[in-house]
Amino acid sequence: MKVTLSFDNGPTAAVTSHVLDTLAQHRAKATFFLVAENLTNPANRAVAERAAEEGHWIGNHTLTHSTQLGDSDDPHLAEREIGQAQRLIGDLASRDLLFRPYGRGGVLDRRLLSRPSLTYLQQHAYTCVLWNCVPRDWEQPDTWVDRCLADLTTRDWSLVVLHDLPTGAMRHLPRFLDSLTELGADLVQDFPPDCVPIRQGHLHRPIGHLLAR
């Protein structure tokens, strides 16, 4: 059983620092998909710099996390939400330009991407990273661990979405990682191919079901 860890919607200095401490203790690497406007806070940027220095990958999770790309006909939305975000991330970015779209509630549907945003991702050689395990830690911060562990047993390779936000959920990250060790899970940093429909701007999976009509 392979498990890839990702953390969305940060950085938030205190919580992300705790996450980094916990990952270091377990010798685990993850990807942090940042809401880039958070980086305008110097403390948040400092902890994102620490994450990159410690070998975690840094990805783009939009500038504001406020509008699903497939919900808007604005032809300039992709440049604002993806392009401006990437400029704020700057040299923190991983070697591949990683982008994770905002999927409200973790739902993979036609609200995820618009055709202009798809064109933008292709023209700028982004790798689009989705997910297949959403334990809803933001919604149920004290009960997500057991639900996530049960879900992991249903597939060979899971890409887990957690959130380094001040909900209290990350207090349980040490128990989660200890449980993965007990299960003999192989923690990897790469992504399951099924979760990467676009790699360096090239389509690798059908995405019609993710595109606004």
Q: How many CA atoms lie within 13 A of 50 on its CB side?
A: 18
- Element containing residue 7 per DSSP (H, E): strand 2-8
Write out the catalytic residue numbers: 8, 163
Which pairs with CB-CB distance under 8 Å and at least 24 residues apart come from 47-54?
Answer: 47/11, 47/13, 47/16, 47/17, 47/20, 48/10, 48/11, 48/16, 48/92, 49/92, 50/17, 50/20, 51/11, 51/16, 51/20, 52/92, 52/94, 54/20, 54/23, 54/24
